[in-house]
Structure 1
Amino acid sequence: MKLTIWGAAQQVTGSMHLLQTEHYNILIDCGLDYEKDTFQEENEYFPFDPSDIDVVILTHAHIDHSGNLPTLVRMGFQGQVLCTPPTADLTEILLLDSVNVFLSKQQRTHRKRGRKQSSGPKPLYLQKHVMDTVERFVTIAFHKTFKITDQISLQFIPVGHLLGAAAVVLTIQENGKEKKIAFTGDIGRKNYPVLVDPESLPEVDYLVSESTYGGKLHSTGVTLEEKLTETINEACVKFPGRLIIPAFSIGRTQSLVYTLNKIFTKGMLPPVKIFVDSPLAITATDIYRKHHQLVNEESKEFYTSHGDEFKFKELSYVEEKRESISISNYHEPCIIISSAGMLEGGRIQDHLYHNIQNYYCTILFIGYCAKGTLGNRLLRGDPIVRLRNRDLMVYASIKQTDLLSGHGDHNDLVNTVKSQDPAKLNTVFLVHGEDKSLSSLSEALEDEGYHVIIPQKGQTFDLSD
């Protein structure tokens, strides 16, 4: 049995791991690599023949884990994609949204000497390829043992992070020996709005773990409700301004909306108009409703007592573009929730363009912003940003909270590994993290007696021993 780390190696995006047994090739995740220096078209070149892959196992729907699946199919993959039911539904809408993003980049034009010229790269895939991919989905419930072959079985373990997100536990019989290997996917955190807590993994021989928040601890001493109440009070109640919250349409928006519902239901603030400006978020919210049996107990109890967690009086969902444009003419205090979370495209850029120079505007970041993104530039304090080919001064207040981060922090990651006996766990492979995070988590785990490796991209490991 061999493991090759083909993605998210010493970086965050592009998760893709190849597990090879004597007669079977398994790909765990097939995500888009969108690091700062990576061109979109580079995702088209797989370091293996896609037709040689027998099955893909998908941990969750986020594009850095799922976003290159249609390219794999387009290039010759003919097997099944195994995932949980919510992951199948959420992945479909995210992949279709990716097509729109690709086409938008391709169709982006500029005028030069009066002539229209294309300035975007060719799409990696189109809607047809997405639907070809969706047809390959086979859904498996949490905790159910699924036999892939006579020698290989699979189990999905809930890890929070996103509806349907799972750690993958594979049991493999080879040469008369049984080996177990687990892939954490992305690990969530406890007491997160809407989502269940991550569960401990069964004992395994090898563990491939994410490390996004290695060396970093989430804020303590204030609850999410308290932080949001304080921010809204400052931005919209004390002063007649507006609060703009960039939020990923899937996962972050639903948890944010539910928390705002609780705040206004409890009467912690006077009524403030809230716009969720994202068609993708509307569709995703319906998927959350469809799989309501998988949300956490607090969310279920709120539903029983107060009704739909994602619907309340102050809240309006904005679907049509004309409605989105009209928000600029809404002159009362308001909250605007829009995507994308890192500000790299989407309707959020329209709201930024009209408000970045507004002294009475607050922009609250609630998630991670990768290096090189517009969100990262605002967070680091750039006084001028470029939007719609214009350089704009930043007069809006820029704030950030990690209380809605969907990733477990350093202690959560360490505790995930510590559920394993260091005398029995052969190796921990750390992926999906920046250099500092990888190093910090590696040192902490080595201090606990674990054997840790930080793989390079393309590095292969023999797991037969």
Structure 2
Amino acid sequence: MKISFHGADRNVTGSCHLVEAGGLRILVDCGLFQGGREIDEDNAADFGFDPRQIDILLLTHAHLDHCGRIPLLAQRGFSGEIIATAATHELARVVLLDSAHLQEEEAKRHARRAYRRGRPAPEPLYNTLDALNAMDLFGRKAHYGEPIQLADGVSATFYDAGHILGSASIRLEYRDSGKSKAIVFSGDLGNKDRPILRDPHTPPHAETLVMETTYGDRLHKALEPSIQELYDAINAALARGGNAIIPTFALERAQEVLYYLREGTEQGLLPKRLPVFLDSPMAISATEIFRRHPECYDAEARALFDQGTDPFALPSLRFTRESSESMALNQLAGGAVIMAGSGMCTGGRVRHHLRHNLWRRDSAIIFVGFAAPGTLARILIDGAERVRLFGDDIPVQAHLQTINGFSAHADRDELLAWQQAIKPERTILVHGEEKAMRAFAERLEGTEVVMPRQGQRLAL
């Protein structure tokens, strides 16, 4: 058994790992790199392996940094089977089609600039047809805890990772001559005791563990104070006569915030008829998919569902699918909550809302998720006084607030407990900033620790 690393190595995005076992070449995730403009070159570069030789792709979940290069993989010759949970199948379709649309729109914008400068027009990384072709490769649906036979002596078992709907950790087992070896991929692990989804499950022992370290150097804030902080930030913006703009990840974070806003209006902590706009076609579709998969919910959310209560419904919630509806929100003088993608402000409709609200002293920009280095969200969080949006130089005068308690990722202590329960002989750290990775490594005991670089290969 061998493994090589092709993304999220000493950084937080682009997860992609290749395992060779039993004559198979098995890819675990194929995510998009996200961050500054130089990231475009990383996404377009060679994968570090021949896509035509990949037999199977195991997908841990549908976040873009884990699935976003699948259409490019198919475009370059991959024709094997993609295996994921049923919820991930549905969510991945929405995510990949949305990503393809954004790629096409970005290419059009660059083409107009290139035309004015007499340069050749750039091509999108992939297009909608590439995304649809990739969806045709999705095959068997994984059920938590049930092994899937990949070949003689090679099986994969998915375990609930509690991160987003359908997310999984994956245990690969290889049996040969009566002996077996196992490797576990954590995927992204969820935060315990959160609403809607179950807590992460721990796979059985494996000799090798490949695990994320997004929050490997810190603990999360307590949840209840974070919820109150969200309510206070919204109420303060309303009192000033401004809007509250929430850059929102379409999967999990949008649904979680809607869940809390519903609770806030029911408990009188927010105005009963608070105007809330979910301005993200992908988040709208994802919310509808969430409603179709109550089997993934924890006991509390499932009880609401069984009682006929929609966990995500508010009295004045409006979905804005059409671009014209989104543009009309820019005319709102104040008094509204606008949730729009993307969470890191790297694209999507939230950039238009930032353009119309960042300069307003009465508005609030509320960050409720992780922001990778180089992204507009991180630039704002780090204190930029001005940013450039759509060719305009925008002063940053709105109230900026970062609420860290809403993370969908396990924190340092939760990661440690999960790792210790598996008791691996070797722990390979991925999907984290190098600082967080090193801090987490210092706390690991009784295991060999590896922090691979991109392209590195290991024999297991």
Q: TM-score, normalised by structure 2?
A: 0.95
Give the Å deviation of 1:305.
4.2
List aligned pairs for 1:31-46, cutoff 5 A: 31-36=31-36, 37-40=38-41, 42-46=43-47
Give the Å deviation of 1:219.
1.0
**Percent of residue pairs bearing the same amino acid type:** 35
Counterpart CA distance in 2 for 1:280 and 1:253 is: 10
Taking a change above 3 Å as real, the CA distance of residues 113 and 262 of structure 1, as seen in their structure-2 partners, is closer
Give the Å deviation of 1:66.
0.6
List aligned pairs for 1:374-453, cutoff 5 A: 374-421=376-423, 425-445=424-444, 448-453=445-450
Give the Å deviation of 1:299.
1.2
Taking a change above 3 Å as real, the CA distance of residues 398 and 118 of structure 1, as seen in their structure-2 partners, is farther
List aligned pairs for 1:312-331, cutoff 5 A: 312-331=314-333
Gaps of 5+ in 2: none
**Which moves more between the two structures, 319-328 or 405-414?**
319-328
Counterpart CA distance in 2 for 1:45 and 1:248 is: 28
Aligned positions, number: 457
Counterpart CA distance in 1 for 2:348 and 2:45 is: 24
Counterpart CA distance in 1 for 2:458 and 2:434 is: 21
- The 3-state SS of whatever aligns with 1:7 is coil
In the alignment, is the contact (CA less than 8 A) between 1:66 and 1:91 conserved in 2? Answer: yes
The answer to whether 1:205 aligns with 2:245 is: no
- 1:5 — aligned with what? 5
Gaps of 5+ in 1: none
Deviation string for 1:200-231 (max 9, x for gaps)? 22111110000111111111374343222222
- 2:262 — aligned with what? 261
List aligned pairs for 1:135-174, cutoff 5 A: 135-137=136-138, 138-174=140-176
In the alignment, is the contact (CA less than 8 A) between 1:276 and 1:315 conserved in 2? Answer: yes
Counterpart CA distance in 2 for 1:113 and 1:180 is: 51
- The 3-state SS of whatever aligns with 1:171 is strand
In the alignment, is the contact (CA less than 8 A) between 2:114 and 2:120 conserved in 1? Answer: no
The answer to whether 1:94 aligns with 2:95 is: yes
- The 3-state SS of whatever aligns with 1:207 is strand
Counterpart CA distance in 2 for 1:187 and 1:121 is: 37
Counterpart CA distance in 2 for 1:282 and 1:222 is: 26
- 2:452 — aligned with what? 455
In the alignment, is the contact (CA less than 8 A) between 1:193 and 1:259 conserved in 2? Answer: no
The one-letter code matched in structure 1 to 2:188 is: D
Which one of 345, 364, 367 corresponds to residue 366 of structure 2?
364
Counterpart CA distance in 1 for 2:53 and 2:168 is: 25
- 1:245 — aligned with what? 246
- 2:312 — aligned with what? 310
In the alignment, is the contact (CA less than 8 A) between 2:191 and 2:409 conserved in 1? Answer: yes
- The 3-state SS of whatever aligns with 2:422 is coil
In the alignment, is the contact (CA less than 8 A) between 1:107 and 1:119 conserved in 2? Answer: no
Deviation string for 1:331-381 (max 9, x for gaps)? 341111011111112111111111111111010000111111111111011
List aligned pairs for 1:10-49, cutoff 5 A: 10-36=10-36, 37-40=38-41, 42-49=43-50
Give the Å deviation of 1:462.
1.1
In the alignment, is the contact (CA less than 8 A) between 1:184 and 1:208 conserved in 2? Answer: yes
Give the Å deviation of 1:428.
0.4
Deviation string for 1:95-114 (max 9, x for gaps)? 11111111111100587799
Taking a change above 3 Å as real, the CA distance of residues 250 and 244 of structure 1, as seen in their structure-2 partners, is same
- Runs ≥4 in structure 1, deviation > 4 angstroms? 109-120
The answer to whether 1:292 aligns with 2:294 is: yes
Counterpart CA distance in 1 for 2:404 and 2:114 is: 47
Counterpart CA distance in 2 for 1:40 and 1:88 is: 28
Taking a change above 3 Å as real, the CA distance of residues 223 and 200 of structure 1, as seen in their structure-2 partners, is farther
**Which moves more between the two structures, 167-176 or 148-157?**
167-176
Give the Å deviation of 1:120.
6.6
Deviation string for 1:242-280 (max 9, x for gaps)? 111000112210111111111112222223211111111
In the alignment, is the contact (CA less than 8 A) between 2:202 and 2:418 conserved in 1? Answer: yes
Counterpart CA distance in 1 for 2:165 and 2:115 is: 49
Counterpart CA distance in 2 for 1:451 and 1:109 is: 47
- 1:227 — aligned with what? 229
Q: TM-score, normalised by structure 1?
A: 0.94
Taking a change above 3 Å as real, the CA distance of residues 150 and 7 of structure 1, as seen in their structure-2 partners, is same
Counterpart CA distance in 2 for 1:113 and 1:167 is: 43
Counterpart CA distance in 1 for 2:12 and 2:388 is: 25
In the alignment, is the contact (CA less than 8 A) between 1:105 and 1:121 conserved in 2? Answer: no
